[in-house]
């Protein structure tokens, strides 16, 4: 009798442990997606290929990266696992793989988004499969899962315990009726955040609760009028332009006034925040780099003065000295911000967002 009980116990334990480890996958596409300018055919990219056809080739490619896109869901599973298919294996000397190709999980706790854990990409495979977190309590929680910053995601499946619930959140922790649309360079796209959630648009998203759309195009935010046309077509309550690092001083001179003017004419009631470029740290030493950045600053200030003289309103301007502190420690490579730089940058932009959105 005792022996029978023992056998039963072993079988039950084994089954319980099997049941616990048995994971059911749900397509992220069926959950809630934030950080999207508009719907796209290939759902984990930022701009639809049809809409990028008049944009520069580099922007067309970068628009497929999943920067700023996140999935919201609720589950009571004690484990969260993810399978994600990457377009290609990337190497950036200035980004950890978690940042360019990994996932970043947050949970809503007492009304605030708190970091949980990352999905670490493994080397040498496009098909990633990782347990992100386990051994949690089984209360129902709302999660936000950020997608990779500098890669393209062709599929994403979220795994929970076989018997757990997973669903769109009843009360989303991000208010998608308040939309902040950001256009900019590699810095905006998220280089060099340690993980997707530390790109500064993502920090601002969590701090404001607004839906922040990341339209950062590494090395290619050059203010072509096609981009202004696209931005004007995106539903927005606020535009933030952080696009001075990429164009040459000449391009800023030629394009910036028309770019901003066009956007304002198309969307007269939407406030605009214009951010001067971060002064490249190596520009303090490399006189050629320093001269270029000074030239960029000079040209955008002329545009700003011209717009102010014309009486532009509902327009906010953030100068370079306010962005990343003055200890020269906020970048990885003189240009791209680390989490230290991004948290300073978010602190600098946040008060202007609050002001602009209050109006």
Binding to a second copy (CB under 8 A) within 167-196 occurs at: 192, 194-195
Distance, CA of 53 to CA of 60 (rounded, Å): 7
Candidates 68, 97, 216, 247: give the one binding a second copy (CB under 8 A).
97
Candidates 137, 269, 309, 310: give the one binding a second copy (CB under 8 A).
137
Distance, CA of 271 to CA of 273 (rounded, Å): 7
Angstrom CA distances, 211 to 37, 215, 299, stand at 10, 13, 31
**Residue closer to a second copy, measured from CB, 51 or 74:** 74
* Residue 116 makes contact with a second copy by CB under 8 A: yes
For residues 258 to 297, the per-residue mask of contacts with a second copy, x marking binding by CB under 8 A and - elsewhere, is -----------------------xx-xxxxxx--------
Residue 307 CB, shortest distance to a second copy, in Å, is 33
Distance, CA of 107 to CA of 283 (rounded, Å): 39
For the chain, give percent helix, strand, coil, nearest 5. 35, 25, 40
Count of residues making up the chain: 359
* Residue 63 makes contact with a second copy by CB under 8 A: no
C-beta of residue 252 within 8 angstroms of C-beta of residue 332: no
Give the contacts of 358 (CB within 8 A, at least 6 positions apart).
none
Candidates 1, 4, 50, 135: give the one binding a second copy (CB under 8 A).
135
Nearest to 192 by CA among 233, 150, 252, 138: 150
* Residue 340 makes contact with a second copy by CB under 8 A: yes
Candidates 155, 226, 237, 333: give the one binding a second copy (CB under 8 A).
333
Binding to a second copy (CB under 8 A) within 34-53 occurs at: none
C-beta of residue 129 within 8 angstroms of C-beta of residue 81: yes
Q: Which residue has the tokens 């049809």?
A: 50
**Residue closer to a second copy, measured from CB, 155 or 286:** 286
Residue 101 CB, shortest distance to a second copy, in Å, is 8
Number of residues that bind a second copy (CB under 8 A): 49
Which residues form the interface with a second copy (CB under 8 A)?
91-99, 102, 107, 114-118, 120-123, 133-137, 192, 194-195, 198, 281-282, 284-289, 328-334, 338-341, 343
């Amino acid at each position: 009798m005792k022996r029978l009980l023992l056998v039963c116990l072993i079988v039950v334990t084994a089954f319980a442990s099997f049941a616990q480890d048995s994971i059911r996958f749900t397509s992220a596409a069926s959950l809630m997606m934030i950080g999207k300018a508009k719907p796209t055919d290939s759902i984990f990219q930022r701009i639809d290929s049809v809409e990028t056809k008049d944009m520069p080739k580099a922007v067309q490619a970068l628009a497929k990266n999943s920067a700023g896109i996140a999935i919201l869901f609720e589950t009571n599973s004690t484990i969260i696992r993810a399978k994600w298919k990457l377009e290609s294996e990337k190497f950036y000397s200035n980004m950890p793989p978690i940042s360019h190709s990994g996932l970043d999980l947050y949970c809503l706790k007492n009304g605030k988004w708190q970091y949980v854990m990352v999905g670490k990409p493994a080397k040498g495979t496009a098909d990633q499969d990782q347990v992100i977190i386990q051994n949690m309590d089984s209360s129902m929680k709302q999660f936000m899962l950020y997608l990779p910053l500098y890669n393209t995601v062709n599929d994403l499946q979220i795994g929970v315990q076989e018997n757990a619930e997973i669903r769109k959140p009843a009360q989303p922790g991000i208010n998608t009726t308040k939309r902040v649309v950001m256009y900019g360079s590699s810095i905006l796209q998220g280089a060099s955040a340690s993980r997707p959630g530390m790109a500064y648009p993502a920090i601002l998203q969590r701090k404001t609760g607004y839906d922040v759309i990341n339209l950062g195009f590494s090395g290619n935010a050059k203010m072509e009028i096609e981009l202004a046309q696209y931005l004007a077509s995106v539903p927005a309550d606020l535009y933030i332009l952080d696009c001075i690092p990429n164009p040459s001083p000449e391009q800023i001179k030629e394009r910036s006034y028309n770019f901003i003017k066009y956007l304002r004419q198309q969307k007269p009631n939407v406030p605009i925040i214009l951010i001067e470029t971060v002064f490249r740290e190596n520009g303090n030493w490399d006189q050629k780099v320093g001269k270029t950045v000074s030239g960029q600053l000079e040209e955008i200030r002329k545009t700003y003065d011209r717009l102010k003289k014309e009486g532009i309103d509902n327009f906010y301007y953030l100068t370079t000295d306010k962005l990343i502190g003055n200890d020269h420690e906020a970048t990885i490579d003189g240009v791209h911000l680390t989490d230290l730089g991004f948290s300073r940058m978010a602190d600098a932009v946040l008060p202007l967002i609050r002001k602009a959105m209050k109006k």
